[in-house]
A and B are shown apart, each in its own frame.
Chain A
Amino acid sequence: MKKKISKLPFRGTAEQERQLHEVIGKYKSDPSRLMTVMQEAQEIYGYLPIEVQQMIADGMNVPLEKVYGVATFYAQFALSPKGVYNVSVCLGTACYVKGAGDLFNKISEKLGIGADECTEDGRFSLTACRCIGACGLAPVLTVNNDVYGRLTVDDVDGILAKYND
């Protein structure tokens, strides 16, 4: 899977770094917990820039290449920051058959961004995901933790408008 790697400068805070070291401290003794640390690091920073990967590599005492290898292998790890609102359109089979592809294109056109991109104002980002398991509601999209189901292309404007605060 190809990943977009952000060129935006790293803006980590001292507080985030403290939290990360706490996580590393907890799992340091068990090398099989590398993914757990990376998952929690992503919770803290929102994505895994190279600076964070380096801190994890140093803390867990593994080469950076291993951390990078894991980060690029799994879809969940983001190497680019997400917008304040991340719109994720399910392109699983059930949703696809019910027109999720059109939904995705409409949102992409509306926001002017493609998959795994973030709008310039940092408000919206767009991702395509594989099945969130709500196939009974197909087609489905999520905006952060809100789930919208049984959608048509006409619902897109209304949904996006809710997040224009």
Chain B
Amino acid sequence: MYRSHVLVCGGTGCTSSNSLKIIDKLEEELAAQGLSEEVKVVRTGCFGLCALGPIMVVYPEGAFYSRVTVEDIPEIVSEHLLKGRIVTRLLYDETVGKDEIKSLNETDFYKKQVRVALRNCGVIDPESIDEYIAQDGYQALAKCLTEYTPEQVIQVITDSGLRGRGGGGFPTGRKWALCAPNKAPQKYVVCNADEGDPGAFMDRSVLEGDPHCIVEAMAIAGYAIGATKGFVYVRAEYPIAVQRLQIAIDEARAYGLLGKDIFGSGFDFDMEIRLGAGAFVCGEETALMTSIEGNRGEPRPRPPYPAVKGLFGMPTVENNVETFANVPQIILRGAEWFASMGTEKSKGTKVFALGGKIKHTGLVEIPMGTTLREIVEEIGGGIPNGKKFKAAQTGGPSGGCIPASLIDTAIDYDNLIALGCMMGSGGMIVMDEDTCMVDIAKFFLEFTVDESCGKCTPCRVGTKRLLEKLDKITKGNGTLQDIDDLEELCHYIKENSLCGLGQTAPNPVLSTLHFFRDEYVAHVTEKRCPAGVCKSLLSYAVVAEKCKGCTACARVCPVGAISGTVKNPHVIDTSKCIKCGACMEKCRFGAIVKR
């Protein structure tokens, strides 16, 4: 028996800020103090509050240490673990109450969260099948194989109202039901872990923090549709996820939870990992299958749908990681339980990756129907540096923006679609007043132009023309006609592209045009960037009344565009200025302004 458990986050965020060295140092200090038999160190998956990483939690007290460094470890060991005195200075300040420490679940960040897909992340050691089993792991699979027929499994998933968490929101039960009756010598279950939407990392966190739940869910899906083989297609950029998933598959095989005759039911299922190679389009299901087959990952026209003719020409069900992560819990706790959360047409919870200009960046899992205001202001802790919230971008390069005026929107699939946004995989980038919406649209188009596979013309050529127009506008050479052309071309690309990538690529433009048309117009008619981002439209100037003539700006200017004498106001020669902003950073009197 251990008297204390120390949980250290081993997710990618915290690993990047040295959590593995922290674990080594902890083990070393514990051994030096003779505590190795009394205190157990567990490397867990992601806690979600990445902004405060590296994170460490000590139980039974539940002390939540944030931004821990290797140098802090001796103090934590000798004070807290040896003498039982919590090191208050390292606690996350929101958990420090009067005379007591508050539980993590009472903090603003966690209070409104409901963890289903992430329930084991940051709780168990992802490399231990026993810890997963202790959390009811593999019981859902056992229940399916011994108590349910495949039809009943599909019925439970259908009744729960679970919809695909990867973007489109297609009902999972229906997807399975479409595939189940198709007869074929081999059928497949595919897990889409090619999380390509920049800014989203929930799938990676599930694979890193709770890989067994994916193994279990895929076996359940296999049983439901009559498939005996599964593939997980993971981005090669996620080495920790790949490694832990492989360990999980190996452990499951060793325990007889994968392989032949699972639970003596006569059901066979096995799976393997395939690595992606960095192509955004492979997140599209037919492209992903083409890629698993060893080809250029180009999408195929549908029909035939994958349920009929998918991977290697066989009936296939493909779901995303987060979708699968919900399955075992639905089986164990029942469809009614799951359907009791969320809104009328969007059941359950959704994980969002909060990023951008927000205090608490990280992963949050909330019931569908939570308002954007609750996410940004309460859970996310608001916008740093006293800036104003301008918009939240969801759905990545396929999605759109929700402006500040609609901050009370309840987030679910249908409300987002109605706003011209998309749930996407759940990336949520918060923007403040310093973000230029035209520039953001251009950023996403640069991405899609890069990632368009080139198979169909509307996407390959159309996105390029969109980008050219946006570039023209941000350089101050646009006309009002360009804005109209932009809009027309967007609709054309949406209607005529072959796959989801092209059909959604214009969304960032359409959405910003819809909510922030005035910014586009300002770029065109006034040659002005209201947010002060587009360099070609900016100019720097010295406010004479504030300038003390300290010469700091003139000395830092790389092109010698600033002139003036000591103790007299300086002047910027705009014809020489390259708009690097160095002078503005250097000025201690706030005398340099961007216009």
Contact = CB atoms under 8 A, between A and B. Distances in A.
Interface stretch (B291-299, B317-325, B493-501): B291-299
Interface string B240-282: 0000000000000000000000000000000000111111100
B383 to A, nearest CB: 12
A132 B294 contact: no
Interface string B431-449: 1000100000001100100
B305 interface: no
A147 B16 contact: yes
Contacts of B435: 97
B292 A32 contact: yes
Contact of A135 (B49, B50, B291, B292): B50
A39 interface: yes
A98 B176 CA distance: 41
Contact of A76 (B195, B198, B278, B357): B278
B237 interface: yes
Contacts of A77: 277
B329 interface: no
Nearest to A66: B295
Contacts of B198: 92-94, 130-131
A136 B355 contact: yes
A93 B297 contact: no
A5 interface: no
A95 to B, nearest CB: 8
A36 B74 CA distance: 44
Contact of A97 (B293, B294, B429): B429
Contact of B277 (A39, A69, A92, A130): A39
A40 to B, nearest CB: 10
Contact of A35 (B277, B353, B357): B277
B551 interface: no
B13 interface: yes
A74 B16 CA distance: 25
A97 B277 contact: no
Interface residues of B, number: 52
B336 interface: no
A98 B429 CA distance: 11
B165 interface: no
Nearest to A93: B199
Given A76-B236, A133-B201, A94 B275 contact: no
B17 A137 contact: yes
A12 interface: no
Contact of B12 (A93, A98, A132): A132
B361 A35 contact: no
B396 interface: yes
Interface string A93-136: 11011100000000000000000000000000000011111111
B280 A130 contact: yes
A147 B278 CA distance: 19
A36 B429 contact: no
A66 B396 CA distance: 31
A92 B50 CA distance: 17
B199 A135 contact: yes
Interface of A: 1, 31-36, 38-39, 66, 69-70, 73-77, 92-94, 96-98, 129-138, 140, 147, 149
Interface of B: 12-13, 15-17, 49-51, 53, 195-196, 198-199, 201, 204, 236-238, 274-280, 291-298, 312, 353, 355-357, 361-362, 393, 396, 427, 429, 431, 435, 443-444, 447, 450-451, 453
> Closest 7 interchain pairs by CB?
A136-B50, A92-B198, A75-B278, A74-B277, A94-B355, A147-B16, A133-B201
19 contacts: A32-B292, A32-B293, A35-B294, A73-B296, A73-B298, A93-B199, A94-B429, A96-B443, A97-B355, A97-B356, A97-B357, A130-B196, A130-B447, A131-B198, A133-B237, A136-B13, A136-B355, A137-B16, A149-B17
Given A94-B198, A130-B280, A131-B198, 8 more contacts: A33-B294, A36-B275, A76-B276, A93-B396, A130-B278, A132-B237, A134-B12, A137-B53
